[in-house]
Amino acid sequence: MTARRRGTAALLRWYPPGWRERYGDELAALMEDTTGGEVPSVRLRASVAWAGLRERGHEAGVLGQAAAPTSRMRGGSLLVLCAWVAFVVAGSSFAKLAEHFEGSVPAHARALPVDAFTVVQWLATVAGLAVVAGAVVALPSSVRFLRAGGWPRIRRHVLRAGAATLLVLAAGIPLVATAHRLTPPQRNGGSLGYSLAFLGVCALVVAMAALWTVAAVVTVRRLGFGPRALLAEGTLAGTVALSMLAITAATAVWWASIATSAPWFLWGTPVGSAGSAFEPQLVATMVLMVLAAVAAGYGAGRIARSMRDLRTA
């Protein structure tokens, strides 16, 4: 295979396998005619990639209305799951940033941030329980899938996620042991080596979460759900999405109250000192939280419309 044909084949991989089997040769011929046999331009590559992603979105049931309501409900639920994983990453960052904030806030201004943080904790518990309940609902279908010989279809994804988990354990256990030998200032930026190791383990944890999410999505897309199970999954996904939106609002309230009454806490400076509300890690955390909540809200909207279409049918 020539380099040009390999490049064309790589571009076609943006499209789902079924689409490539039906229309891949036609698109490849069209691209060769368009480019005159030359290497595709950056603009053409971007256009093909975007179109391929849209086609994958339609096939997964997260875009358009052409798919069956059941497919759209499954797609919306999986989108909420993916958004929840990203939200957990943002939530973990927020929990680290908010450690021991009560001691830095003046007594007269402590009630609002404490209440907002409590709301975040309770809603995070509700959402977490809903995710666990969704896994329990999917368990019978998963068992049937595996008994029917489905393991080879998901083995690669599960083994990758498992390997990432072992890597996290191998790196995380020594880091925890080291943290116990350090002072609080050293654990909070005073030791460059520890800080770099901590960031490295955090990156591994994010990669592990992403790989397990991919494994879950690949598996769930192959499961056969009955109407009741699918309805339960959609309801639980809606609960998670609503919880995420509420958590985002409560986090924003916490941020605003701390920025007003104790901005020094956001920067780790002495009590009473000045400070900006826009601490970089907190800003990045909030941006990720908002994006995940918006994606979950979109998924919940698709679930609600799919339920309505099913009732109409």
pLDDT at 208 over 90: yes
Cβ pair 291, 285 in contact under 8 A: no
**Cα–Cα distance between 247 and 121 in angstroms, integer?**
8
Instruction: With cut-offs at 50, 70 and 90, classify the pLDDT of residue 253.
Output: very high
Residue range 110-114: mean pLDDT, rounded: 93
Q: Is the pLDDT of residue 158 over 60?
A: yes
Task: Name which of 179, 202, 203 is nearest 191 in CA terms.
Answer: 179
Query: Could you read off the pLDDT of 31-83 as tens digits, one per residue?
Result: 877 777 677 788 888 888 898 889 888 888 888 887 888 888 999 999 999 99
pLDDT for 58 equals 86
Average pLDDT rounded to a whole number, residues 198-221:
92
| Distance in Å from the first CA to the final CA of the chain | 50
pLDDT of residue 1: 46
Could you write out the DSSP letters of every residue in 194-229? Answer: HHHHHHHHHHHHHHHHHHHHHHHHHHHTT----HHH
Q: Which residue has the higher pLDDT, 129 or 51?
A: 129
What is the reported pLDDT for 67?
81
Work out the pLDDT band at 23, boundaries 50, 70, 90.
Answer: confident
Residue 310: enclosing H or E segment and its boundaries?
A: helix 280-312
Evaluate whether 106 touches 301 at the Cβ level (below 8 Å). no
**Is the pLDDT confidence value at 2 over 60?**
no
Determine the pLDDT at residue 5.
62
Position 188 pLDDT exceeds 80: no
Q: What's the gap between Cα 308 and its chain centre?
A: 27
